[in-house]
Structure 1
Amino acid sequence: MDRRVTPHSGRVALEALRGRVEAEAFVAGEAGAVAVPLVDLCASPGGARDRQVVLGEPLVVVERRGGHAFVQMGKDGYCGWLEAGAVGPALAATHWVAARGTHLYPEARVQAREMAALPFGARVVVLEEDGRWARVAGGFLPAMHLRRLGDWCDDPVAVAEGFLGVPYLWGGNSAAGIDCSGLVQAALLACGRDCPGDSDMQARMGAPVAAGDLRRGDLMFWKGHVAMVVDGARLIHANGHSMDVCHEGIEAAIARIAAQGGGPVTALRRV
């Protein structure tokens, strides 16, 4: 099984895996949510970052150990370890942050000193809204930066272009730093479409498409890399060459990646 999407910590597994894996204990799991703006989801407690998750995203806790929690994320099934303090109770979120980023303020006043930065995609419970400000637990957010859950965007490419210039970060999932699969996932989730977290998983989405029939929003894959088609000549991707999110000519990208040893395009998919 792929450990990235298998809710088995090495010691404890979810009950659904009984009979399929060996574990010291099987549990029903504890529903929760990410309780901090942004946190690394790691392959081991305090270990290497696999991905990042953001405030309000639902999860299931499989095991708690030594100041860390092994969880499975609700958005894509990805599993890994979070710092225990980053896990909070389940949240009946009402809205999501649809701006590239926003700030939490202690009062509904532009001049107030911000208390926290919330990333794109963060989920919150709006308690009250007056048109300009939305009151949430602990403070106020600019209402124009929020959308109701279910009020999705309609163009993944336009969402991805909102990240232009964001620095490349392996495993990153925010405007503080993002990688190729993180960009694609953010763009598709914002449009209400399911999307896994890594490019090899994303290469199994949708249906194959011919090179001569590429459309806006189609995905192009290389070994370990994914980009999104903007139009007949350009793509957008977070990449380790320019170290940011940028537009690049499709033919130029194909030639450059091949020349740098990244190989040919391995798949074209329409989602």
Structure 2
Amino acid sequence: MKFDVRVLEEEVPDYLKYGTVITPTCDMRKFPSFESERVHQLIFNEKVKVLQVQTDYYLVKDLKSSYIGFVRAPQLRFDSKDHDDYTHLVTARFTSMSLENLDLILPFGTKLKIMNETDEFYFAETALGMGKLKKSDVSLISKFNMDFDELIKNYISTPYLWGGTSTLGTDCSGFIYRLYDALGVKIPRDTSQQFDELYPIGQDELTTGDLILFKGHVGMYIGENKMVHSSASLGGVYVSDIFDPKDIYEETLKRGIIGFRRVKNDV
């Protein structure tokens, strides 16, 4: 029997090997169709490896999470580099960035390469040209030290979105993934991976930032018997009394706990 083995990325020319997201968010789809399931979501300036080029969609691999999926062609700008030397991070829930012929709303966690500044504004080099944004909405990555309480405030009431990871909409594991990404800590993207790969702890060891795992769901412990999570049942990111339930939903959550995990910087 003869097999035709194809390595998709070898079919892509060198100058098309990588791509940079040029829209505020960029959905990764299971198949090359807008009707297909959203499996992951990238945000502005995130990098991908291009595996296959099609007319309307590209098959790509997220260089951070290793997710593979299809993205719409207009949302990507080809690049020959697999990384950029980002210097700053959007720390506001959203910020507006003005380009020559376009204004973009960038979500929390967007990383930027700042090239110049005035008393009030930063100027960021992007694949779309130079962008101007308020200094008050941005922080130096090297000096970023926002605690979990402040981080979570950026997400409270964010709508639930299957496959989402941003302050425009997020699912449960995408919410946790993006919080830790802002802190410079790489963790697995999926709930099952977070359960399997992170450090197991007991309930009596829980401290703020630890994860509470359920079958197909995850939340973050924030102290005082409370958990913050992005819940489809609640419609978004909210706080639940996980160990002192106040209603049937919280009782159901408590009964569904399957474990506790801690994120370590060497993940």
Please indicate the TM-score interval, normalised by the length of the shorter structure.
0.7 to 0.9
- Which residue in 2 is equivalent to 1:104? 97
Instruction: Return the alpha-carbon distance in structure 2 between the equivalents of residues 259 and 147 of structure 1.
Output: 40
In the superposition, the TM-score normalised over structure 1's length comes to: 0.81
Change (3 A) 1:169 1:74: same
**Long gaps (5+) in structure 2:** none
Instruction: Return the alpha-carbon distance in structure 2 between the equivalents of residues 11 and 256 of structure 1.
Output: 49
In the superposition, the TM-score normalised over structure 2's length comes to: 0.82
Alpha-carbon offset, residue 11 of structure 1: 5.8
- Which residue in 2 is equivalent to 1:120? 108
| Kept in 2: contact 1:96–1:146 (CA 8 A) | yes
Change (3 A) 1:150 1:59: farther
Change (3 A) 1:170 1:254: farther
Letter in 2 for 1:33: T
Letter in 1 for 2:229: H
Instruction: Return the alpha-carbon distance in structure 2 between the equivalents of residues 195 and 152 of structure 1.
Output: 18
2:136 is the counterpart of 1:132: no
| Kept in 1: contact 2:9–2:50 (CA 8 A) | no
Deviation string 1:113-168 (CA, Å, 9 cap, x unpaired) is 97221111222232211131012334311112112344443534531232111111
| Kept in 1: contact 2:210–2:221 (CA 8 A) | yes
**Long gaps (5+) in structure 1:** 1-9, 16-24, 108-112
Instruction: Return the alpha-carbon distance in structure 1 between the equivalents of residues 259 and 117 of structure 2.
Output: 45
Alpha-carbon offset, residue 188 of structure 1: 0.6
Instruction: Return the alpha-carbon distance in structure 1 between the equivalents of residues 247 and 57 of structure 2.
Output: 42
2:244 is the counterpart of 1:256: no
| Kept in 1: contact 2:12–2:53 (CA 8 A) | no
- Which residue in 1 is equivalent to 2:31? 44
SS in 2 for 1:267: strand
Most deviating of 124-133 and 47-56: 124-133
Instruction: Return the alpha-carbon distance in structure 1 between the equivalents of residues 117 and 231 of structure 2.
Output: 39
SS in 1 for 2:193: helix
- Which residue in 1 is equivalent to 2:21? 34
Instruction: Return the alpha-carbon distance in structure 1 between the equivalents of residues 76 and 246 of structure 2.
Output: 40
- Which residue in 2 is equivalent to 1:77? 66
Q: How many residues align?
A: 247
| Kept in 1: contact 2:96–2:105 (CA 8 A) | yes
Letter in 2 for 1:142: K
2:134 is the counterpart of 1:146: no
Most deviating of 223-232 and 25-34: 25-34
Letter in 1 for 2:69: G
